[in-house]
Structure 1
């Protein structure tokens, strides 16, 4: 599926591996100037940007550090004078049960989910003042169901979905849409953890397979199109119908 987003400027957090890299790649293939945010691995970031080619640049910085973020967005604005799309994909996960949870770990996962978008929102409100800005957050099915050892990230994603709705209401008048995509376990090929569980989920999915990073990237790109301008504050589930059988 080819979309025309030629010349648009996109920033993707957590963009140099896995799902974030797939999202950045899809937006770049659709014609965007893409900034791939990352925290620490310079070599991986350079390689990811190089693979995409021209108009793909690494953007190093810890999105939870208020001294760094959202100043990084100013770097993009200095080059382009605007930001058209912001995709918040960065996340952290501290596996734990709800009873006896590591509270510091929970707070850390919440910070990665919420702080970047909260701090970026005032900058994006001005940077997207052309009336067609797109903000997309990446959530997961754990936001609305109880997954073993997932309480920390589940809480973080549930809070992120709530933030999406609040921002959608406040930014709609400026022509900026704010939405989320949500998915279940992703097919990461040979790197997919717990292949037995993955096989069970694939069998339960009406589509007959696990969701891939490319599936989610396609959905993100769709929400970034001009035609998605009247979709506001929604969580788009991308799971091949798995949730219908939960």
Structure 2
């Protein structure tokens, strides 16, 4: 029987790469998106996935999406919290980062009665200072703390909660400033920038059956960049 996965922010970038990876590894994937119907239709055509349009940052939004997926598929096994929102206010960003996960903590045991996986997507700005990243950095640090608390709360229910962290991600020629990206790529021990599929592979590892005993951890996928001073 296929596992059922929900990926928020799943029509582009890391979220799309995660949806592709899970779909390729025998998951029935529900892709959440907020506004872009055309992009969602393209993803649905490519992956033969289900679409969940909705705002995961709104109160109750996450619960509604997961419940709809569980009702449609008859089960829920994986929840990937990838959607992010940027503002100039650290308080707003912290709220947006935490809400999709906080919103569903109490209902996950009933939605995943046979256990499951929750993976949040974070960044190395959570534990090191990145210029111009104050608001999201603080938000990601709060998210990683929430992952640890949620892991303890849900471990006894057979639900493993973890996070994947990464550095600057090359999402294509139109999404990056070439010169800083060239410098970062040269500085990365593995020799190139992280791409979305690298992060997706790490998410998949935490969703594997063999990862059942991993709880509350942050797995870094950045080609070794974060190891440097």
The TM-score by the shorter chain falls in which range?
Answer: over 0.9
Deviates more, 1:205-214 or 1:69-78: 69-78
Find runs of 4+ consecutive structure 1 residues off by over 4 angstroms: none
Deviates more, 1:163-172 or 1:117-126: 117-126
User: How many pairs are equivalent?
Assistant: 229
> Which of the residues 164, 171, 179 maps onto 1:181?
164
1:32 aligns with 2:27: yes
Q: Is the 8 A contact 2:170 2:194 kept in 1?
A: yes
Residues 149 and 34 from structure 1, CA distance in 2 versus in 1: closer, same or farther, beyond 3 angstroms?
Answer: same
Q: Quote the Cα distance in structure 2 between the aligned partners of 1:237 and 1:164.
A: 14
Q: Is the 8 A contact 1:22 1:213 kept in 2?
A: yes
Q: Quote the Cα distance in structure 2 between the aligned partners of 1:201 and 1:221.
A: 25
Deviates more, 1:106-115 or 1:7-16: 106-115
Aligned to 1:210: 193
Aligned to 2:44: 49
Residues 161 and 68 from structure 1, CA distance in 2 versus in 1: closer, same or farther, beyond 3 angstroms?
Answer: closer
Structure 1 residue 69: deviation in Å? 3.3
Q: Quote the Cα distance in structure 1 between the aligned partners of 2:179 and 2:167.
A: 15
After TM superposition, the score normalised by the length of structure 1 is 0.90
After TM superposition, the score normalised by the length of structure 2 is 0.96
What runs of 5+ residues in structure 2 fail to find an aligned partner? none
Aligned to 1:107: 91
What runs of 5+ residues in structure 1 fail to find an aligned partner? 1-5, 95-101
Q: Quote the Cα distance in structure 2 between the aligned partners of 1:108 and 1:49.
A: 31
- Post-superposition Cα deviations, 1:174-212, rounded to whole Å, max 9, x if no partner, equal 111000000000112212422111111111111100011
- Post-superposition Cα deviations, 1:145-180, rounded to whole Å, max 9, x if no partner, equal 111111100011000000000000111111110000
2:162 match: secondary structure? strand
Structure 1 residue 67: deviation in Å? 4.7
Structure 1 residue 51: deviation in Å? 1.0
